[in-house]
């Protein structure tokens, strides 16, 4: 059947126009992301692996056990997650993928930081403005339903190959939960509490920062957890545009039909996902 509406052509023209007229902006973004990713990689790789493992295990123990006042139940919970982190990371080291795991973690952390930097303010805006919510909601629907591979096309066009297009594609893919759950958390703050704040003479900013955001924090942190896991799920797809890390090893395994390499690197991603999930859940949930 003959094509009647050629939407793709108009989108292509728009992307070409953006690339020509704002090349300085894409170069600055590319340089900034590359510098941030490389700096974090160098920082983490500067320390011996055993020191990082001990630090993360202690951090997880403190977050988990601290919720129970470091009592007996908290001790059991904290020890459990700490032992999993120690054995999980040690397993990755023994597989020879420690450097790749660090690069994947860096990619996830940078993508999560950018997604939250954009997502939380947008979530606040949609919660406090019906007009903004009406405009942003369908955009988020599009971002969540669009196949992740599609994001790689403009990312490559603007940023060539490397970590930058991988980070940009990951941010687009992982951004919606940050916006939606921030908005949901603020909307779910009891109306009576907000009205009480107004009755005591609180300003709009005081209502937001001292009432709505603190009460919405568990929901916002659940959004942070979702952003991290979605970012981690993109590492294999991001490797197709040159992003480094465990995803690139999985991609190599697929290309070379190397079952051992694909399984080992995939299992390392699973271990990393569980560790990040447990740590962020410890931050975001109450006793």
Q: Give the confidence band of 70 by pLDDT, cuts at 50, 70, 90.
A: low
- Say if residue 72's pLDDT is above 70: no
Rounded alpha-carbon distances, angstroms, from residue 279 to 58, 109, 121, 127, 200: 11, 13, 24, 28, 38
Q: Does 46 reside within a domain?
A: no
Q: Does 82 reside within a domain?
A: no
- Say if residue 49's pLDDT is above 80: yes
What is the average pLDDT across 54-76?
A: 76
The single-letter DSSP state of residue 240 is G
Q: Give the confidence band of 98 by pLDDT, cuts at 50, 70, 90.
A: very high
Residue with token string 């630090």:
55
Q: Does 70 reside within a domain?
A: no
The span from the CA of 74 to the CA of 50, in Å, is 24
- Say if residue 2's pLDDT is above 80: no
Q: Give the confidence band of 286 by pLDDT, cuts at 50, 70, 90.
A: low
What is the average pLDDT across 144-172?
A: 82
The span from the CA of 68 to the CA of 1, in Å, is 65
What is the average pLDDT across 146-167?
A: 80
Q: Give the confidence band of 71 by pLDDT, cuts at 50, 70, 90.
A: low
Q: Please report the pLDDT score of residue 74 as a whole number.
A: 64
Rounded alpha-carbon distances, angstroms, from residue 66 to 27, 43, 147, 163, 214: 44, 28, 40, 36, 19
CATH number of the domain to which 176 belongs: 1.10.3720.10
Interior/surface letters 177-206, b for 16+ CB within 10 angstroms, e for the rest: bbbbbbbbbbbebeeeebeebeeeebeeee
Q: Does 12 reside within a domain?
A: no
Task: Give the domain range for residue 212.
Answer: 97-284
Rounded alpha-carbon distances, angstroms, from residue 268 to 30, 55, 194: 28, 19, 46
Q: First vs last Cα of the chain: how many Å apart?
A: 60
Q: Does 9 reside within a domain?
A: no
> What is the average pLDDT score of the chain?
86
Q: Please report the pLDDT score of residue 145 as a whole number.
A: 84
The span from the CA of 83 to the CA of 97, in Å, is 20
Count the domains in the chain.
1
Phi, psi (deg, nearest 5) at residue 215: -70, -25
Q: Give the confidence band of 237 by pLDDT, cuts at 50, 70, 90.
A: confident
Q: Please report the pLDDT score of residue 281 as a whole number.
A: 80
What is the average pLDDT across 107-117?
A: 93
Q: Does 220 reside within a domain?
A: yes
pLDDT higher for 54 or 144? 54
- Say if residue 157's pLDDT is above 80: no
Least confident range from 10-14, 50-54, 198-202, 214-218: namely 10-14
Q: Does 64 reside within a domain?
A: no
What is the average pLDDT across 179-192?
A: 91
Find the farthest-apart pair of alpha carbons in the chain and give their distance in angstroms, rounded. 71
- Say if residue 65's pLDDT is above 80: no
Q: Please report the pLDDT score of residue 93 as a whole number.
A: 94
Tokens representing residue 51 in the block: 């020191």
Q: Does 44 reside within a domain?
A: no
Q: Please report the pLDDT score of residue 7 as a whole number.
A: 72
The single-letter DSSP state of residue 247 is H
Query: Above pLDDT 90, what percent of the chain?
Result: 34
In sequence order, the 6+-apart residues with CB closer than 8 A to the CB of 29 are 159, 164, 168
**What percentage of the chain's residues is helix, strand, coil (to nearest 5)?**
85, 0, 15
Q: Give the confidence band of 99 by pLDDT, cuts at 50, 70, 90.
A: very high
């Amino acid at each position: 059947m003959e094509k009647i509406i050629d939407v793709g052509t108009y989108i292509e023209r728009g992307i070409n126009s953006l690339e020509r007229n704002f090349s300085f902006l894409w170069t600055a973004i590319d340089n900034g992301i590359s510098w941030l990713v490389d700096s974090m990689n160098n920082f983490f790789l500067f320390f011996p692996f055993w020191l990082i493992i001990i630090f993360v295990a202690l951090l997880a123990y403190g977050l988990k056990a601290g919720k129970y006042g470091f009592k007996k139940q908290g001790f059991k919970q904290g020890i459990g997650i700490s032992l999993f982190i120690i054995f999980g990371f040690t397993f990755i080291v023994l597989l020879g993928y420690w450097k790749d795991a660090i690069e994947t973690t860096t990619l996830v952390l940078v993508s999560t930081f950018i997604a939250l930097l954009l997502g939380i303010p947008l979530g606040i805006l949609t919660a406090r403005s019906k007009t903004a919510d009406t405009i942003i909601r369908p955009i988020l629907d599009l971002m969540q339903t669009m196949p992740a591979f599609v994001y790689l096309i403009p990312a490559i066009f603007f940023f060539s190959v490397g970590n930058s297009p991988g980070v940009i594609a990951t941010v687009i893919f992982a951004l919606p939960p940050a916006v939606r759950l921030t908005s949901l958390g603020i909307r779910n703050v009891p109306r009576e509490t907000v009205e009480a704040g107004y009755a005591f003479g609180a300003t709009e900013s005081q209502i937001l920062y001292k009432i709505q955001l603190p009460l919405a924090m568990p929901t916002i942190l659940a959004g942070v957890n979702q952003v991290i896991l979605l970012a981690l799920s993109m590492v294999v797809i991001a490797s197709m545009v040159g992003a480094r890390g465990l995803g690139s090893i999985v991609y190599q395994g697929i290309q070379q039909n190397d079952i051992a390499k694909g399984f080992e690197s995939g299992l390392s991603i699973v271990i990393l996902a569980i560790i990040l999930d447990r740590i962020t859940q410890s931050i975001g949930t109450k006793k």
